[in-house]
């Protein structure tokens, strides 16, 4: 529904309910008001039915509307319509489609034949869903934690000769943030083209002073979906969770690390920060650049059609395969990352290793994990012991019972806060990126992941995962089953907010 229509219905709903319930009005007025009230509720229910959601979700929202009419309607507009969101980003999707008309093709490679049949099938599925091909002319390197990632990022920025494109969910005006801002400003003054996108909600700590400093230096800065006042601003819930840097089309970064001091372990609240980032060189940078270009066109109106932004940079040799997937509310296939994660998990033959800060999976993901465990596949899930929020911590723990019931091993990382988003299948191929295993990442956020096939990076991920397990405790099935009522209550309460966590 359009916002103006939503507002009118809300006002009519409030007025008709008031006239129906409160004394002082004639019986005729009350009858007319009650008829209007029921007409509005039945009209909304009819729209709900036409949306063809799952029956239990449709009935749930209808019950909420009838039993809690005012509050229920507000929640329906704010979160209940999040699944039916295509119209909110129709223009962005249409812009992307126009740009894809001239989409590039990657150079064929005989290394495709080195992949297993399962890997080939999964890669083909990614290409079908995302229209992004696998590249065998791209090198990848895992950057463990901020102390490896930020020096590499600074080095790449310092060596830039033509342009730098950055896109971040969280970018702060603290020590590390200011260091990078100063470097960017120096490069801009040297004539380097710099474009920077930051998310309005995630980067609330990016000061106006820092933004002005960048603009004064000649950096083009744009905010993704600025927070606007108004009646139920639905777009507030859709955030750009991507972390992308592209330098001269030669070097690209993607992964879990935002820009802020806590990502270097400098925040006492979080302590040690465990994360995984990825640096890419070569052909697949073009896919990252395409993702950035779509977002840049959305925030600025400028279409980056200069051939230099998609120039081919091949890396020769047996590098393994790299395939980039971007997802979000603008995707032609809604919930594309969730579908790809499901396909990734169901392709496992021996093992599934998952590390995620927020484990709030949808039904399909839970089914894939339980079915894998029932077939004797070794399934391990690693989450932080202490999370960065009450709801995220206890919502995550609310899924432990189901996982433990299916003999899935659950570990809690104790050394600090675990923020990496990694899935490793059979120790042969893996996903590294920005998308968590939660409903927000799978359905609401704009995300980007790199899928790695038989690369040295996968071996590094496996080794790092084993090291992380040594800094974790395994959740005991019996002890967890006997946890107290207070913990159960916290978990159940937090789980109610799963769709928007």
The residues that are catalytic are 241, 243, 248, 419, 421, 426
Q: How far apart (Å, rounded) are the C-alpha atoms in residues 86 and 443?
A: 12
Residue 248, exposed/middle/buried by CB under 10 A (0-12, 13-18, 19+)?
Answer: buried
Question: Quick check: 254 and 168 in contact, CB under 8 A?
Answer: no
Residue 363, exposed/middle/buried by CB under 10 A (0-12, 13-18, 19+)?
Answer: exposed
Question: Quick check: 417 and 268 in contact, CB under 8 A?
Answer: no
| SS3 (DSSP) at 287 | helix
* Token pair for 217: 């230096």
Q: Which residues pair with 473 in a beta bridge?
A: 412
Neighbours of 350 (CB within 10 A): 12
Q: What are phi and psi of 157, to 5 degrees?
A: -65, -45
Q: What are phi and psi of 118, to 5 degrees?
A: -65, -45
CA dihedral 160, 165, 167, 171 (to 10 degrees): 40
Q: How far apart (Å, rounded) are the C-alpha atoms in residues 335 and 468?
A: 30
| Cα angle value 92/358/143 (rounded, 5°) | 80
Question: Quick check: 50 and 1 in contact, CB under 8 A?
Answer: no
Q: How far apart (Å, rounded) are the C-alpha atoms in residues 19 and 30?
A: 6
* Token pair for 329: 């509310």
| SS3 (DSSP) at 202 | coil
| Cα angle value 143/413/363 (rounded, 5°) | 95
> Would you tell me the crossing angle of helices 55-67 and 27-50 to the nearest 10 degrees?
160
């Amino acid at each position: 529904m359009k916002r103006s229509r939503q507002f009118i219905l809300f006002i009519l709903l409030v007025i008709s309910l008031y006239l129906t319930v409160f004394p002082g009005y004639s019986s005729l007025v009350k009858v007319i008001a009650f008829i209007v009230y029921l007409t509005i509720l039945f009209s909304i229910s009819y729209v709900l039915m036409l949306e063809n959601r799952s029956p239990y979700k449709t009935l749930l929202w209808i019950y909420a509307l009838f039993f809690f009419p005012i509050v229920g309607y507000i929640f329906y507009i704010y979160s209940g319509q999040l699944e039916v969101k295509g119209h909110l980003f129709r223009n962005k999707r249409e812009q992307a489609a126009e740009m894809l008309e001239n989409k590039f093709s990657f150079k064929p490679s005989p290394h495709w034949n080195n992949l297993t049949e399962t890997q080939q099938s999964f890669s083909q599925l990614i290409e079908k869903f995302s229209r992004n091909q696998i590249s065998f002319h791209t090198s990848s390197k895992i950057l463990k934690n901020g102390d490896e990632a930020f020096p590499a990022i600074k080095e790449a920025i310092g060596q830039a000769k033509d342009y730098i494109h950055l896109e971040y969910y969280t970018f702060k005006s603290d020590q590390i943030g200011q260091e990078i801002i100063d470097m960017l400003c120096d490069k801009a003054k040297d004539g380097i083209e710099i474009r920077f996108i930051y998310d309005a909600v995630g980067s609330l700590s990016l000061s106006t002073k820092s933004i002005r400093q960048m603009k004064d230096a000649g950096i083009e800065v744009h905010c993704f979906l600025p927070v606007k006042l108004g009646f139920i601003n639905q777009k507030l819930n859709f955030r750009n969770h991507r972390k992308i840097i592209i330098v001269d089309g030669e070097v690209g970064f993607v992964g879990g690390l935002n820009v802020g001091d806590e990502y270097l372990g400098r925040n006492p609240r979080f302590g040690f920060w465990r994360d995984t980032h990825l640096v890419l060189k070569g052909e697949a940078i073009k896919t990252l650049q395409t993702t950035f270009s779509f977002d840049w066109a959305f925030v600025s109106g400028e279409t980056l059609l200069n051939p230099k932004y998609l120039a081919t940079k091949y890396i020769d040799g047996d590098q393994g395969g790299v395939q980039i997937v971007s997802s979000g509310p603008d995707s032609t296939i809604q919930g594309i990352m969730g579908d790809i994660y499901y396909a990734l998990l169901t392709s496992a033959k021996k093992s599934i290793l998952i590390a995620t800060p927020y484990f709030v999976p949808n039904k399909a993901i839970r089914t894939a994990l339980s079915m894998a465990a029932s077939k004797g596949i070794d399934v391990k899930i690693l989450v932080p012991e202490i999370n960065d929020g009450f709801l995220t911590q206890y919502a995550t723990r609310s899924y432990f019972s189901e996982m433990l019931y299916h003999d899935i091993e659950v570990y809690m990382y104790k050394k600090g806060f675990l923020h990496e988003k990694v899935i490793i299948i059979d120790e042969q191929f893996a996903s590294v990126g920005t998308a968590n295993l939660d409903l927000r990442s799978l359905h609401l956020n704009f995300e980007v992941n790199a899928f790695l096939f038989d690369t040295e990076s996968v071996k590094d991920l496996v080794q790092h995962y084993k090291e992380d397990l040594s800094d974790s405790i395994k959740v005991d099935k019996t002890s967890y089953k006997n946890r107290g009522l207070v913990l159960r209550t916290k978990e159940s309460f937090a789980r109610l907010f799963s769709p928007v966590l």
